[in-house]
């Protein structure tokens, strides 16, 4: 650490990197030291006042003062970047999903363990203030015995072109956003054992852009320590217009809680001329709309970066680990297999598929 601040490097310089650099700038114990991107690192560095810019992330890892990296690049690179960073002794913050396949996930687990570096799997729903409060309500018994969870995230599709290319992303909306739901379920319930997955998915709106799924319903069954089972439902969509919709429903024997992440925290607004910014993934910004405020905070992005900084400083253990990322990925692979075979898939699930989409729509 330099001047008492954790020195961070970003691998990637697009949408999610912009979000994380905002969070880094608000943390008194963190500093952005470098950014690496094949094409846009110099511009990103100038925009955010970052001292070092590289076209190759491996050059960034050679900086002796670098403490940790944030992986903000396409999914196909997550494994190799993690292995290189771990070998260089750098702590790792990895964006979701963990990687492209289960073999890569095992390599990442091995690299982190053998090199003894901190690794944080960046699932912001475990830090989202409204969802954290819902979990507190459940944990204190306010809702009784929880018997059903539901999480949904819906919008009209991702920002970056690589998401649509399954060779770079590995799948469609199930992989991109189903990972949020699965890890949310695991975290909310205390990491119970997943025993089965049933999923339906399709490509309804974006057939001209991707062979990945743009709409999915996923049912995951977990087994708790007492042997009882709980069903959790994820509804994920890239086919829903009108801006981001992210919500959680929790059902218990003594109560229920509904948490609408964005629209429930928005300003109902009508404008003939339009607003500068309404909400992420808004398709139009005129007429009636829900205008969000403190969007990144509502998502939990600053909170997860703050947590990672404390992990690197030695003051905390990662709330979400590489093993959690691997467990989530296994469930998502089973979801694609379920949709592909038209049946329930029991867990544990093994697959040597190079990417989950291959289990649903093989070439």
Q: Where are the domains of the chain?
A: 6-123+301-315, 126-299+327-359
Q: What is the signed CA dihedral for 164, 170, 176, 178, rounded to 10 degrees?
A: 140
Cβ neighbours of 348 (radius 10 Å): 11
Beta strands 215-223 and 229-237: pairing type?
antiparallel
pLDDT of residue 267: 74
Phi-psi region of 357 (alpha: psi -120 to 50; beta: other; left: phi over 0): alpha
pLDDT tens over the chain, length 363 residues: 888 999 999 999 999 999 999 999 999 999 999 999 999 999 999 999 999 999 999 999 999 999 999 999 999 999 999 999 999 999 999 999 999 999 999 999 999 999 999 999 999 999 999 999 999 999 999 999 999 999 999 999 998 999 999 999 999 999 999 999 999 999 999 999 999 999 999 999 999 999 999 999 999 999 999 999 999 999 999 999 988 899 999 999 999 999 998 877 777 778 887 877 777 777 777 887 777 778 888 899 999 999 999 999 999 999 999 999 999 999 999 999 999 999 999 999 999 999 999 999 887
Q: Give the pLDDT of residue 315.
A: 98
The closest of 81, 124, 121, 77 to 100, measured between CA atoms, is 77
Q: What is the pLDDT of residue 33?
A: 98
Nearest to 221 by CA among 193, 262, 248: 193
Does the fold of domain 126-299+327-359 match that of domain 6-123+301-315?
Answer: no
Q: Which CATH superfamily is 126-299+327-359 part of? A: Dihydrodipicolinate Reductase; domain 2 (3.30.360.10)
Respond yes or no on whether the N-terminal peptide bond of residue 348 is cis (omega within 30° of 0): yes
Residue (of 31, 18, 104) closest to 309 by Cα position:
31
What is the structure's pLDDT at 280? 72
pLDDT attached to residue 125: 98
| Domain spanning 6-123+301-315, CATH class | alpha beta
């Amino acid at each position: 650490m330099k001047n008492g601040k954790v020195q961070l490097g970003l691998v990637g310089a697009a949408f999610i990197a912009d979000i994380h650099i905002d969070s880094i700038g608000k943390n008194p114990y963190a500093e952005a030291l470098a950014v690496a991107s094949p094409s846009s690192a110099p511009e990103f560095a100038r925009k955010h006042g970052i001292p070092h810019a590289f076209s190759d992330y491996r050059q960034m890892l050679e900086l002796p003062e670098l403490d940790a990296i944030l992986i903000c690049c396409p999914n196909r690179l997550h494994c190799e970047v993690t292995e290189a960073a771990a070998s260089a002794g750098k702590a790792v913050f990895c964006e979701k999903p963990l990687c492209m396949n289960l073999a890569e996930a095992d390599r990442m687990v091995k690299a982190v363990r053998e090199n003894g570096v901190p690794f944080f799997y960046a699932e912001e729903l475990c830090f989202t203030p409204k969802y954290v409060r819902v979990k507190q309500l459940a944990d204190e018994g306010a809702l009784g015995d929880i018997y059903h969870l539901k999480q949904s995230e819906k919008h009209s599709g991702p920002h970056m072109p690589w998401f649509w290319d399954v060779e770079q992303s590995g799948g469609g909306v199930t992989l991109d956003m189903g990972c949020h739901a699965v890890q949310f379920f695991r975290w909310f319930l205390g990491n119970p054992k997943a025993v089965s997955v049933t999923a339906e998915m399709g490509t309804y709106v974006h057939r001209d852009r991707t062979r990945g799924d743009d709409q999915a319903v996923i049912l995951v069954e977990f087994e708790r320590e007492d042997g009882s089972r709980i069903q959790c439902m994820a509804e994920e969509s890239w086919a829903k217009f009108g801006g981001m919709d992210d919500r959680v429903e929790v059902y218990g024997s003594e109560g229920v809680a509904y948490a609408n992440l964005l629209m429930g925290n928005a300003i109902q607004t009508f404008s003939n001329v339009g607003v500068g910014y309404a909400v992420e993934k808004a398709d139009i910004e005129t007429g009636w709309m829900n205008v969000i405020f403190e969007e990144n905070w509502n998502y939990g992005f600053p909170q997860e970066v703050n947590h990672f900084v404390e992990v690197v400083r030695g003051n905390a253990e990662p709330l979400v680990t590489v093993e959690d990322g691997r467990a989530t990925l296994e469930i998502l692979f089973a979801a694609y297999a379920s949709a592909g075979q038209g049946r329930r898939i029991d867990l544990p699930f093994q697959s040597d598929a190079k990417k989950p989409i291959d289990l649903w729509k093989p070439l």
